[in-house]
Structure 1
Amino acid sequence: MDLQSDQRLAGLTAWANQQLSTLQLYQGPSLPLQSVSGDASFRRYFRCRFEGKTALNTGLQSLICVDAPPDKENNPAFMRVARGFAAAGVPVPQLLAVDLEQGYMLLSDLGDCLLKTVLNPQTVEQYFGVALRELTHIMQADFSADPLPHFDSALLQREMELFREWFCDRFLQLDLSQSEHELLTEVFAWLQQQALAQQQVPVHRDYHTRNLMVLEDGRLGVIDFQDAVLGPVTYDLLSLLRDETFPTWDQAQVKCWVAGFAAQLRQADLCSVDDERFWWDFNGIGAQRHLKVAGIFARLKYRDHKQGYLEHTPQSLQYILMEINELKARAPDCIGRFYDWLLARVVPPLLVKFPNSDALFTPTALAPVP
């Protein structure tokens, strides 16, 4: 931990103890903070345990203290989304105290049980059923009084450009020709159009198994939502069902889950397209997201010096190929050429770095779902 982080932790500790006293939750000697986790951003989380009284009970309590440097994190957005989601019935942490100037927050504690740790073939139907119900609440959240930013062309483009800059150039060190650059530009533009053509709803943007907490009442708490936007209706569904840091589910089962969720959305008047179009949209937004993710994993390593994400890169690329393969039969010629280009130019150098990933790129593994 560097000196600046030490200073921020000391400041957060003093501030959190002051808030506990102000809120009349705890009176006593200064309490230490225990590290819970950092994430792919500059935000850090700590747990504070104390003997005290809350609205729920008396005894050993815990709260989450957040260090979110205001020059690096959009804390007003976190507050706006937390309030909007909570009003829609989404189980999110309660905001107990906030200091926007310093970038400190005190939140209710949703516990330690990440969905990722309990999800397996035996529990998946139960937990995904809950996760999809919570997702419909997110989609129905009302931000009319304080609108979410739009997932617009500029944002979609910036995200996909991470693939070109950080994945192809920095990570794989590909020297792309002018025609290769033109192909990427053409593909990105088409994927943008597909995303913007979908119905637009509130989107979490990282709705996956590491941001869902298993609660004692059987629901799933939702965290890390500060980047929410108004965006494509399939986006969060895709993030959950094709999580690049989780083992791949059987794709026939994924297609069934997608169709079932589309039916739920039609019943709630959140979607008007048929199952075939919804599957098309799901794969279109999947290609966009996984292009971004591949670029982000490389950027985390080379810019932010965070090593743990790059190992998931082969899974991201497999998903891109699967999704493009689902689209190319009815898409413009550039999409088919992009599929061939990925296999010829991107997969070989990737396999040099990850030689045990070759099974991800067999024709069977990439085949469209019947």
Structure 2
Amino acid sequence: MTNPEMIILDLPDEAATLQLGEDLALALRQGDVVALHGDLGMGKSTLARALIRAIAEDDELEVPSPTFTLVQRYPLRLPVQHFDLYRLSNPEELEELGLAEALSEGVALVEWPDRAPEYFDSVTHVKLFEVGEGRRVEISAPESALSRIAHTLEVRKFLDRSGYAGAKRRFMLGDASIRAYETIRTAAGERLILMDAPARSNEPILRDGLTYSDIAKLAQSVVAFVGIAQALRDNGFCAPQILAMDLDAGLLVIEHLGDGAFLMPDGSVNPTRYQEAGRLLAAMHEREWPRSITVAEGVEYVVPIYDRAAFEIECALLLDWYIPFTEDRVATDEERQEFNQLWEPLITRLLECEQSLALRDYHSPNIIWREERDGLDRLGVIDVQDAAFGPAAFDVASLAMDARVDVSPEVERAIVDAYCAARTGAFDRAAFEEAYAITAAQRNTKILGIFVRLAKRDGKPGYLKHLPRIQDYLRRALAHPSLSDLRAFYERHGFLGEQAR
């Protein structure tokens, strides 16, 4: 049970303690301290060991008690330092043991924190008491940490009531949005994926009562993922099957499509795979796609239209984030006016070109290579929730100018050629090539702004390393004759960086 300041749980046996450690591991963030309280034999070390093994993703990891060494260090995905203060002679020794350093890098688990109580005021406290044959746990923590812990326990309840009681949970990834993913292994040994994507909230209003994600037509809840994945499967494409869902909580259990990386082991491009992915798009663009999809009883998902307002607000990210980052100033009204005047007729062409279902994030991180499969089933498509009806060329540009990996001009052309060769009927290649260039310019304009926003607003500086690649892609796209005026503007403002050698 819970109250606003505490979570209280009953653990009937050691298995429940191990499961709690696993659940807590998924709630921890850098800088967290977990203070473990309880008499000898209450299970503090058992809980700590389960938590560390869950972060390490290794159920056999040796986790010795730090009773005599006082601290054990684990350089894991989230670095962990395990302190046992039972033999601490002076609270000031904690500084010598590296508590501050531990929190700057990862998390700290502390047994016997009462030996230095002044260091553990506003932290997560886990208190274990004997109750019959089992244990009772009281968890108190600062508001943000307690909220994370309550959420991970709600996820466990969702798994239990969905038929996956006892499933092992492991962190998989958190993407560039509000979503997080876990790998779960059922009691029968089956691997599945948990998608944890609460509905968007607390976004600032930009105009007309709408947020950025409203205007850009980004998914507001997991309803979008369920609908688009279902539509893709119904049309013969490989998207995850939905095995369990709580739409209100934003929780899904979905099919695990495999571990086959789309890129090569060294992270480079495999031209053959990219060409196959281009041919898959050709097949998609010759299907008729529904506008409305039944997701559950009484729940319909209406696929949005990638409209002018969406294109414009995405392009504006360049001015809103990239200019302040590179030039330490805001864009002037004159610059914004010229920028908008240049994009206005180009966006009109995008609205008038061939339209289809555009996944909008069709590139290497979101494609699973299934070597043992054939045809359309060989490529698994994930992260599909932001799909919209828009230019058919958009996903081709997303693939052939993959934001996270270098695609050479030669391979880019091979992808485009493979796509065009696979199109049938009255396919107008010249019109496609123009739409491809404009969508490539629009997408990479947006990405320059998004990657800076991820670095500066969201604390993810790793995205900045991709900027030179995006500038190179922009140079390629802007070589199309229809974009000559836009290219001149970008060159004049230094948006294209230095010419790659």
Which amino acid in 2 is paired with 1:286?
Answer: A
Distance 1:67 1:338, change over 3 A: same
Aligned to 1:366: none
Aligned to 2:251: 104
Deviation at residue 118 of structure 1 after TM alignment: 4.8
2:275·2:414 contact (CA, 8 Å) conserved in 1? no
Aligned to 1:124: 271
Aligned to 2:155: 12
Aligned to 2:402: 243
1:38·1:45 contact (CA, 8 Å) conserved in 2? yes
Distance 1:117 1:172, change over 3 A: farther
Q: Does 1:260 align with 2:413?
A: no
Distance 1:325 1:122, change over 3 A: closer
* 1-structure distance, mates of 2:267, 2:177: 28
* 2-structure distance, mates of 1:122, 1:142: 30
Deviation at residue 119 of structure 1 after TM alignment: 8.4
Greater CA radius of gyration, 1 or 2?
Answer: 2
1:87·1:141 contact (CA, 8 Å) conserved in 2? no
List gaps (5 residues or longer) in structure 2: 1-28, 30-143, 202-219, 294-301
Which amino acid in 2 is paired with 1:104?
Answer: L
Aligned to 1:69: 198
Aligned to 1:43: 179
* 1-structure distance, mates of 2:390, 2:275: 22
1:213·1:221 contact (CA, 8 Å) conserved in 2? yes
Deviation at residue 283 of structure 1 after TM alignment: 0.8
Deviation at residue 212 of structure 1 after TM alignment: 0.3
* 1-structure distance, mates of 2:324, 2:270: 40
Deviation at residue 88 of structure 1 after TM alignment: 0.7
1:16·1:65 contact (CA, 8 Å) conserved in 2? no
Distance 1:104 1:45, change over 3 A: same
2:364·2:399 contact (CA, 8 Å) conserved in 1? yes
Distance 1:118 1:187, change over 3 A: farther
Which amino acid in 2 is paired with 1:323?
Answer: A
Question: Greater helix share, 1 or 2?
Answer: 1
Which amino acid in 1 is paired with 2:476?
Answer: M
Which amino acid in 1 is paired with 2:488?
Answer: D
Q: Does 1:345 align with 2:501?
A: no
Deviation at residue 93 of structure 1 after TM alignment: 0.8
* 2-structure distance, mates of 1:308, 1:211: 19
Report the more deviating stretch, 41-50 or 108-117: 108-117
Deviation at residue 19 of structure 1 after TM alignment: 1.2
**Larger RCO of the pair (alpha carbons < 8 Å, separation 6+):** 1
Residue among 386, 396, 400 paired with 1:227: 386
2:168·2:186 contact (CA, 8 Å) conserved in 1? no
List gaps (5 residues or longer) in structure 1: 22-26, 53-59, 352-357, 363-370
* 1-structure distance, mates of 2:150, 2:368: 30
Kindly provide the CA deviation profile for residues 291-341 of structure 1, in whole angstroms up to 9, marking residues without a partner as x. 1111111111222222222211121122222211223xxx3xxx5344234
SS at match of 1:221: strand
Q: Does 1:316 align with 2:463?
A: no
* RMSD (Å) for aligned C-alpha atoms: 2.4
Distance 1:200 1:119, change over 3 A: farther
Aligned to 2:442: 288
Deviation at residue 91 of structure 1 after TM alignment: 0.5
Distance 1:10 1:112, change over 3 A: farther
Deviation at residue 253 of structure 1 after TM alignment: 4.2
Deviation at residue 61 of structure 1 after TM alignment: 1.1
Which amino acid in 2 is paired with 1:153?
Answer: R
Report how many aligned residue pairs link the two structures. 327
* 2-structure distance, mates of 1:108, 1:130: 22
Aligned to 1:368: none
SS at match of 1:346: coil
- TM-score, normalised via structure 2 length: 0.61
Deviation at residue 96 of structure 1 after TM alignment: 0.6
Which amino acid in 1 is paired with 2:277?
Answer: A
Identity value in percent: 25
